[in-house]
Chains A and B, each alone.
Chain A
Amino acid sequence: MSIREGLLALLHDGPRHGYQLKTEFEAATGGVWPLNVGQVYTTLDRLERDGMVHAHEANGISAAGVDTGRAGQRTYALTPAGEAELKAWFTTTAPEGPPPRDELMLKVLMAVGVGRAQAVQVVTRQRTVLLAHLQRVRRERAGADGDLAARLVTEALVARAEADLRWLDSCETHLLADRRRR
Chain B
Amino acid sequence: MDNTNTPAIEFVDVVKRFGAGATEVRALRGVSLDVAPGELVAVMGPSGCGKSTLLHVAGGLEQVDAGRVRLQGRDLGDLGATDLAALRRREVSFVFQRLNLLASLTALENVSLPLELDGVGAREARGRAREALAAVGLDGDSIGRLDRYPDEFSGGQQQRIAIARAIVGRQRVLLCDEPTGALDVATADTVVELLAGLPQRFGTTVVLVTHEPRFASWADRVVFLRDGQIVDQTPSLLGTGLSAEVSS
Contacts and interface: CB of A to CB of B under 8 A. Distances in A.
B218 A169 contact: no
By Cβ-Cβ distance, the 7 closest A-B pairs, closest first, are A134-B217, A132-B234, A128-B232, A165-B213, A135-B217, A138-B217, A139-B242
A94 to B, nearest CB: 26
B217 A131 contact: yes
B217 A169 contact: no
Interface in B219-248: 219, 222, 224, 226, 231-235, 237, 242-245, 247
A128 B234 contact: yes
A145 interface: yes
A124 B231 contact: yes
B25 to A, nearest CB: 16
A127 interface: yes
A137 B234 CA distance: 14
Interface residues of B, number: 22
A137 B216 CA distance: 13
29 contacts: A124-B224, A124-B226, A125-B232, A127-B224, A127-B232, A128-B222, A128-B232, A128-B233, A130-B213, A131-B216, A131-B222, A134-B213, A135-B217, A135-B219, A135-B237, A138-B217, A138-B218, A139-B237, A139-B243, A139-B244, A143-B245, A145-B247, A158-B214, A158-B217, A161-B213, A162-B213, A165-B213, A172-B46, A173-B46
Interface string A106-125: 00000000000000000011
Nearest to A126: B232
Nearest to B220: A135
B228 to A, nearest CB: 14
Contacts of B44: 131
A135 B222 contact: yes
Contacts of A165: 213
Nearest to A162: B213
A1 B137 CA distance: 44
A127 to B, nearest CB: 7
A43 B149 CA distance: 63
A136 interface: yes
A128 B224 contact: yes
Interface of B: 44, 46, 213-214, 216-219, 222, 224, 226, 231-235, 237, 242-245, 247
A142 B226 CA distance: 31
Contacts of B213: 130-131, 134, 161-162, 165
B101 to A, nearest CB: 30
Report which residue of B44, B217, B218, B226 has the largest number of chain A beta carbons within 10 angstroms of its beta carbon: B217
B4 to A, nearest CB: 24
B30 to A, nearest CB: 17
A112 B88 CA distance: 46
Contacts of A161: 213
Q: Which of B226, B231, B234, B243: most chain A Cβ within 10 A?
A: B234
Nearest to A158: B214
A137 B231 CA distance: 23
Given A125-B232, A128-B233, A135-B217, 12 more contacts: A124-B226, A127-B232, A131-B44, A131-B216, A132-B222, A134-B216, A135-B222, A135-B234, A138-B218, A139-B242, A161-B213, A173-B46
A131 B226 CA distance: 16
A125 B233 CA distance: 9
B96 to A, nearest CB: 23
Contacts of B231: 124
Contacts of A136: 242
Contacts of A173: 46
B244 A131 contact: no
A21 B62 CA distance: 62
Contacts of B219: 135
A41 B217 CA distance: 39
Nearest to A139: B242
